[in-house]
């Protein structure tokens, strides 16, 4: 079944925290046209006793399938056809799944829905290098002083191996980055993390209630803890993305392919044709590269000691 989006009305409302409401009005003729396509499809596919498949009367098929089911399929079909069209017409590029509210649905009226989406926030990256350099130098001075004290006492010393961790770099970047994280993204990430936790608990025979009891926490307390972590993770993702853009950090197709091969994936060459998977691997490599470059810049001449 192919629906060709026709004329529709779209209104975009800006909300706080880089969130938009996109209100879409689909004309009634498109609602009825789509409904007719669904009825025809139901007639073709529904088996009715006493009739050859595809030959049962319209009313009998509708009665068997159920008007409510057809209306549910109609709403889904309209959303699937007109939501992408609305994004195209408004030039909106969401970074979240839409939260959809049906404002008006009647087979004899315009179909009206509102999609709430998160968009990329404005990002301001502060000076993360100076604090990292100062912290690294302080630690280096402390290690050097410890060695000098050992030498004075005639004790054996060890060569200084001091290495910044990626987490230290990310934490500092997040600390100096200014951006408003959309609540929609925080909720999505929180749900994903909680779902992963529940699956892990179930894999060892624990229900969520049992896990909460073992941690002496309520479900609200756990969710709030995960929301804090989720917001930090998303903030780090946006901030690193901005630094990658500012530094113009690029990764070649050869590097992506090498990573897929090193990861032991089957048919790595064919996976390169999957744009989503290719971009995902590229994103990881870009983040690793930019963090490594920052660490190398901070550690300076000491960096070779940790290779």
pLDDT tops 70 at residue 10? yes
Q: List all residues 6 or more positions away from 130 whose beta carbon is below 8 Å from its beta carbon.
A: none
Give per-residue burial for 276-302: e unless 16+ CB within 10 Å, then b.
Answer: eebeebbeebbbebbbeebbeebbeee
Distances (CA, A) of 242 to 10, 17, 196: 30, 17, 28
pLDDT band, very low/low/confident/very high, at 306 (cuts 50, 70, 90)? very low
The string of pLDDT tens digits covering residues 170-184 is 999 999 999 999 999
Torsion of CA 207, 211, 212, 215, to 10 degrees: 170
- For residue 297, the model assigns a pLDDT of 93
pLDDT tops 80 at residue 9? yes
Give CA–CA dist 48/232, Å, rounded: 56
pLDDT band, very low/low/confident/very high, at 307 (cuts 50, 70, 90)? very low
Residue count of the chain? 307
Mean pLDDT across the chain = 91
Please say whether the dihedral angle defined by the alpha carbons of residues 41, 47, 49 and 54, taken in this order, is positive or negative.
Answer: positive
The string of pLDDT tens digits covering residues 46-68 is 888 888 888 888 999 999 899 99
Closest Cα partner for 83 from 117, 36, 35?
117
pLDDT band, very low/low/confident/very high, at 106 (cuts 50, 70, 90)? very high
User: DSSP character for 124?
Assistant: E
As a whole number, mean pLDDT of residues 148-155 equals 89
Domain 9-118, CATH homologous superfamily name and number: Trigger factor ribosome-binding domain (3.30.70.1050)
**154 dihedral zone (left: phi>0; alpha: psi -120 to 50; beta):** left
The string of pLDDT tens digits covering residues 227-279 is 999 999 999 999 999 999 999 999 999 999 888 888 877 788 888 888 888 88
- For residue 156, the model assigns a pLDDT of 87
CATH architecture of 164-306: Orthogonal Bundle (1.10)
As a whole number, mean pLDDT of residues 176-197 equals 95
- For residue 293, the model assigns a pLDDT of 94
CA 104 to chain centre: 30
- For residue 291, the model assigns a pLDDT of 96
Sketch the domain layout of the chain as residue ranges: 9-118, 164-306
As a whole number, mean pLDDT of residues 98-103 equals 97
Q: List all residues 6 or more positions away from 107 whose beta carbon is below 8 Å from its beta carbon.
A: 31, 32, 35, 71, 74
- For residue 52, the model assigns a pLDDT of 84
- For residue 237, the model assigns a pLDDT of 96
Largest separation between any pair of C-alpha atoms in the chain: 103
Give CA–CA dist 65/94, Å, rounded: 35
- For residue 4, the model assigns a pLDDT of 60
């Amino acid at each position: 079944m192919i629906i060709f989006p026709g004329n529709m009305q779209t209104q975009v409302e800006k909300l706080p925290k880089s969130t938009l409401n996109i209100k879409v009005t689909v004309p009634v003729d498109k609602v009825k046209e789509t409904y007719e396509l669904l009825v025809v499809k139901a007639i073709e596919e529904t088996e009715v006793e006493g009739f050859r498949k595809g030959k049962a009367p319209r009313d009998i098929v509708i009665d068997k399938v159920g008007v409510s089911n057809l209306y549910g399929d109609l709403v889904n079909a309209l959303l699937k056809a007109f939501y992408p069209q609305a994004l195209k017409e408004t030039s909106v590029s969401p970074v979240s799944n839409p939260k959809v509210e049906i404002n008006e649905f009647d087979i004899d009226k315009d179909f009206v829905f509102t999609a709430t989406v998160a968009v990329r926030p404005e990002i301001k990256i502060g000076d993360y290098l100076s604090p990292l350099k100062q912290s690294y130098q302080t630690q280096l001075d402390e290690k050097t002083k410890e060695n000098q004290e050992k030498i004075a006492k005639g004790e054996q010393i060890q060569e200084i191996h001091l290495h910044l961790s990626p987490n230290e770099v990310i934490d500092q970047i997040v600390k100096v980055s200014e951006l408003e994280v959309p609540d929609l993204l925080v909720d999505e990430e929180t749900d994903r993390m909680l779902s992963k936790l529940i699956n892990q608990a179930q894999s060892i025979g624990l229900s969520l209630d049992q896990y909460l009891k073992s941690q002496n926490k309520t479900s609200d307390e756990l969710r709030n803890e995960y929301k804090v972590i989720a917001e930090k993770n998303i903030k780090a993702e946006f901030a690193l993305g901005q630094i990658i853009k500012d530094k113009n950090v690029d990764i070649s197709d050869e590097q992506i392919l090498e990573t897929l091969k090193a990861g032991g994936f089957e048919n790595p060459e064919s996976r390169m044709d999957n744009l989503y998977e290719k971009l995902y691997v590229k994103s990881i490599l870009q983040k690793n590269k930019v963090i490594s470059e920052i660490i190398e810049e901070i550690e300076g001449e000491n960096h070779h000691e940790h290779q």
